[in-house]
A = this chain, B = another copy of it.
């Protein structure tokens, strides 16, 4: 059960609602986010929602039988728009491209990429400065200094910074420079990290685990939301299967499923999802038609010289062609919707 409270409800009144619901046999969690105040009540008893609705300070009540609650579409039918600032928004009705290199490698690389993206009308840039690597001896990114550099160049042109956070201890230092915290597949169930991101007010792009179920993904999003941060973007990035013809198996079934079950926006990462450069454009377009609200693309001026993930990274020329195709295809999609 999700109880939406009146905006600015006095603490005492909220406690009275909590007390009432507890008496009915529910345990409650009070949640205060950017957009509202809620009580999430967990319990198995049947209850007449009208009783709860009548409590002073209660705005609305919904029964949610999903294992996830606040991220469910059961209580919030309207799709969520995640606002990155400066008019950059991710959510239903648009298709937002987030592009950039796998790793931030240096000032020149960042400057060129930002210029390229600005020229293309792309307003959000991805780039890793803390890199999760299977081997301890691999390049692990430029760290916080790299992030500062990345952010200063990007922000100078109002390009939004999307970058991966690996550990809760990094959040404070990263916070001033980041527009979207990205949580990678290996951290999709790092609950300490999710808890701490839930205490920030920054949007979080949450990737599905390497072999994560969609229910787990939504429950991980619930961690963030229930700690107070409702700006969450879900990301399908391919799962691990027996098929080794490509890096991962992009599971586009996930897109209509997630869009139906949750009000959160969904983006697709075809670069990791297939892992082979020349298949990325087709898969990006397939993701759009599956219903995605955006995509994450690895782009590099010289993919062959990229420090990581070169094999799945588009050159500027390839990216430019794809950006245009995605724009036109998005228009076609909107027309089909209206038809």
Contact = CB atoms under 8 A, between A and B. Distances in A.
Contact of A253 (B133, B166, B273, B324): B273
Contacts of A69: 137
A242 B240 contact: yes
Given A135-B222, A256-B283, A282-B291, A239 B245 contact: no
A260 B289 contact: no
A318 interface: no
Copies of this chain per assembly? 4
A189 interface: yes
A200 to B, nearest CB: 16
Interface in A62-83: 67-69
A219 interface: yes
A209 interface: yes
B213 A211 contact: no
B245 A242 contact: no
A149 interface: no
B250 A253 contact: yes
A285 B289 contact: yes
B67 A135 contact: yes
A152 B191 CA distance: 28
9 contacts: A132-B189, A135-B222, A137-B226, A168-B169, A241-B241, A250-B251, A253-B273, A324-B339, A325-B339
